[in-house]
Amino acid sequence: MKKMMAAVLAAAMVLSLAACGGKKEDDQKYVGVSMPTQSTQRWNQDGANMKTMLEEAGYKVDLQYAEDVVETQVSQIENMITKGVDVLVVAPVEASSLSDVIDKAAKAEIPVISYDRLIMNTENLSYYATFDNFEVGVLQANFLVENLGLENGAGPFNIEVFGGDPGDNNAFFFYDGAMSVLQPYVDQGKLVIKSGQVGMDVCGILNWDVAATQARMDNLLTSNYSDGSRVDAVLCPTDLQSYGIISSLKNSGYGTESLPLPLITGQDAETAAVKSIIADELSMTIFKDTRALAKKVVEMVDAILKGETAETNDSSTYNNGVKVVDSYLLKPVVVTKDNYENVLIDSGYYTADQLK
């Protein structure tokens, strides 16, 4: 009888443990992460960092890339809603095209965090995590001002201006930040935009496209610099676009001892861009540590699922057309040939071999 009771108790314990194990699995929170594309290094790193950190924090993760197709992203988010994710983290392909699907998430009581790019025209955003995008433009412009010697009265210099994707709210912050620094020098005649092309309506490049950027640079050179004058600086918002600008300039004879490349700005610290800086082609880039951004988003997810208020440091800047979204802004960092080892290698973001 005692042996039978012991066997029954042992079986009950096994069933109890199994039930506990099943409950733990059922209770694991589920986070859907929607990224715009795998075609650029930057978004690959963002997605990988996000997935790793969320999983390390104990979450189940569904990571999807939309390959820059709005309809694909909408479908992927709808599938995540159907699967019953507890939180959505979304970096939009096109900022103004997701309001309907985000509203569907709200009806399913799924909180949404907008990641790096602000989702427009919906009240159903819990938080926005990004870098200080206005400051990105300020840093790019300050680099040009300092290296041209404008503060010391040098000039005039010829400059051409590029913008990012007009469908991305961040592009306007980059542009406005840069022009807040550069415009006074334009007004003084110390910076000359020979093409006369200013404003995101003419300087913006749809989808940050490299080929379109290169084509515009080709046209600027042909139309405005065939008289023997030279370009001294190019305000370029991203590394991706800088590749097209550099190709155009080199095809036009720049990059030689007699006609060196102008100062060119970038952003994202892609490996190809850092190599270009080391090779004295691209002048600088802006480093946005995606590890830090992913960490901040994990903290936001934790707070939401605990019913707490997440830490933010900006509640006035980012208006998505319906509401001002509580945001956390991280600080961008300038990277040049002089400091790339300290900023990128010593921090563990890249290895020395990756930049060879």
pLDDT at res. 280: 98
Domain shared by 165 and 254, yes or no? yes
Domain shared by 142 and 281, yes or no? yes
pLDDT at res. 27: 82
pLDDT at res. 101: 97
For residue 17, name the pLDDT band (cuts at 50, 70, 90). Answer: very low
For residue 22, name the pLDDT band (cuts at 50, 70, 90). Answer: very low
pLDDT at res. 194: 98
Pairing between strand 285-287 and 127-131? unpaired
Structural domain of 174? 133-287
Torsions phi, psi for 135 (to 5 deg): -65, -30
User: Has residue 337 been placed in a domain?
Assistant: no
User: Has residue 353 been placed in a domain?
Assistant: no
- Tell whether the model's pLDDT for residue 21 goes beyond 90: no
Q: pLDDT for 331-341, tens place per residue? A: 999 999 999 99
Counting the structural domains of the chain, the total is 2
pLDDT at res. 248: 99
pLDDT at res. 8: 42
Q: pLDDT for 38-48, tens place per residue? A: 988 889 999 99
Q: pLDDT for 46-79, tens place per residue? A: 999 999 999 999 999 999 999 999 999 999 999 9
Domain shared by 220 and 278, yes or no? yes
Q: What is the percentage of the chain residues whose pLDDT exceeds 70? A: 93
Over range 196-201, report the average pLDDT.
98
Please tell me the pTM assigned to this model: 0.87
**Boundary (domain end) residue, out of 265, 287, 309:** 287
User: Has residue 21 been placed in a domain?
Assistant: no
Domain shared by 246 and 313, yes or no? no
Domain shared by 149 and 115, yes or no? no
Average pLDDT, the chain: 93
pLDDT at res. 15: 41
User: Has residue 218 been placed in a domain?
Assistant: yes
Give strand pairing partners of 341: none
Domain shared by 102 and 86, yes or no? yes
User: Has residue 9 been placed in a domain?
Assistant: no
**Boundary (domain end) residue, out of 287, 303, 320:** 287
Complete DSSP assignment for 313-349: SBSSS-B-SS-BPPEEEEPPEEE-TTTHIIIIITTTS
Q: What is the percentage of the chain residues whose pLDDT exceeds 90? A: 91
> Which residue is associated with the tokens 């004058």?
229
Domain shared by 299 and 282, yes or no? no
Half-sphere exposure of 232 (CA within 13 A, CB side): 18
Query: How far is the CA of 148 from the CAs of 53, 232, 234, 239, 262, in angstroms?
Result: 42, 8, 12, 21, 10
Distance CA 225, CA 227 (A): 5
Domain shared by 169 and 265, yes or no? yes
Q: pLDDT for 199-235, tens place per residue? A: 999 999 999 999 999 999 999 999 999 999 999 999 9
* Residue 174, phi-psi category: left (phi > 0), alpha (psi -120 to 50), beta (remainder): alpha
Over range 157-177, report the average pLDDT.
97
Q: Is 237 in contact with 245 (CB distance < 8 Å)?
A: no
Domain shared by 114 and 163, yes or no? no
Domain shared by 200 and 88, yes or no? no
Residue 152 per-residue DSSP state: G
Q: What is the CATH number of the domain that holds 294?
A: 3.40.50.2300
